[in-house]
């Protein structure tokens, strides 16, 4: 007696969809006035600088300083208080929609 086994072939793809796996667009803000920020030298020494009014800064992530974000302005990293960046004097710059 012969037995026959039918097996269905199923492909399972693990992972996230392209939309979820793509890196999120970095948030950018335009400063409505000049703000103090901390810039760390390569040796680790910090200094206070003032970012200019109308500067466009890109949020990199959380800062090593309490209540601050690490932001990039003109290819330099700075630490800026969250309250300054997220307050009414700064404007979120909306990313341009990508064309298909």
pLDDT at residue 31, as a whole number: 97
Nearest to 77 by CA among 48, 32, 31, 38: 38
| pTM, to two decimals | 0.69
Tens digit of pLDDT for each residue in 71-83? 999 999 999 999 9
**CATH number of the CATH domain containing 56:** 2.30.30
Strand partners, 19: none
pLDDT at residue 11, as a whole number: 42
Does the residue 17 lie in any domain? no
91 pLDDT band (50/70/90 cuts)? very high
> CA-CA distance, 71 to 77, in Å (whole number)?
6
Does the residue 44 lie in any domain? yes
Does the residue 3 lie in any domain? no
Q: How many domains does the chain have?
A: 1
What SS3 state is found at 35? strand
For the record, the structure tokens of 36 come out as 């103090």
Write down the residue that tokens 């996230």 correspond to: 16
Number of Cβ within 10 Å of residue 98's Cβ equals 6
pLDDT (mean) for 38-57: 93
Tens digit of pLDDT for each residue in 4-41? 555 544 444 444 443 444 556 679 999 999 999 999 98
Name the residue range of residue 54's domain.
24-93
Alpha helix positions (H), 1-100: 18-21, 82-86
- Contact call for residues 54 and 33 (beta carbons, < 8 A): no
Does the residue 60 lie in any domain? yes
For the record, the structure tokens of 68 come out as 């601050």
């Amino acid at each position: 007696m012969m037995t026959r086994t039918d097996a269905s072939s199923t492909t399972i793809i693990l992972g996230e969809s392209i939309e979820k796996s793509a890196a999120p667009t970095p948030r950018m803000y335009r400063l409505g006035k000049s703000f103090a920020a901390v810039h760390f030298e390569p040796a680790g020494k910090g200094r206070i600088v003032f970012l200019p009014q109308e500067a466009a800064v890109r949020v990199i992530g959380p800062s090593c300083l309490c209540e601050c974000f690490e932001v990039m302005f003109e290819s330099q990293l700075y630490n800026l208080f969250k309250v300054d960046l997220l307050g009414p004097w700064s404007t979120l710059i909306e990313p341009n929609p990508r064309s298909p």
